[in-house]
Chain A
């Protein structure tokens, strides 16, 4: 079985995000970028499937600026077999919307014919949580989102999902889309020997036009602003006072 893993280059999770002065978005110039952490978990899971003999080949695909190559190389160094870069933007601030990404991925799926797509549940930049679901709809494939466990049983994927209030285990027929949550695994570090080997692994460059997909945005960003600063707290002198404030001022009990 072939596994396809989409990976996105996003602002690093350690970077303090700053909103651009004109409110058009967040400042990404000269900012550290790295692989979306959920996508790292997806890559790791694909590698583990291959190590268990449940998968033969892992193809990673990234859609965005040319520098997404680095993200793909990281995935290759972790253990993916080959990579596809779809050059869809020149400016790092251009965000390719989930629908366009899903359409491009659907086209890649048509070409590659994977048995499974493993994706991050969302990217930590825009937190859309949409691409996996849209891809499932476009392909007419089953979807299993927010996976915290994944097992392949014959033609089925058995997925434990993190849902409100607990865990839900479902069985979906493959080919399928699985989107992964934080607790699925601990991704490995790209080791130095594998970084060297990754250099020789194939990385194919494409454009959206190759797949006949229009990536121009459908949404317009009206405003981007920092979340309001947290107001200072107050010290209460007794439990009674705390309960009173929660009841009367906060109105939460």
Chain B
């Protein structure tokens, strides 16, 4: 019986350790959720933040990470290419203030080449302290 309690205690401690610090209100997985309701999982977070234009063969955004950097937001996004050849996409961020309005002028589209069967991480920082939320816009640059 004592052994059972000990195992249960260890499992509970391990789960607590994995959970880490509680999320800040209005954030999910370290990412601002803006006007959205609580985002319960990574798929829903990507769904809320990602705006894909048209078909993007082989390349997809597989993860988003965010952190506060003083007054600015730091964002990282993972682009994964499932194909065997390199593929090209263009991306840009749209920054929104706490009211959901544009917090900065539109960014330029940035080209990105992702080698086949690899994952590439891009990183950025919000241009102004007014930015409280963001959208990641992605489109393909490969010719059909």
Asked if chains A and B come from one complex, the reply is no
Q: Which residues of B contact A (CB under 8 A)?
A: none
Q: Which residues of A contact B (CB under 8 A)?
A: none
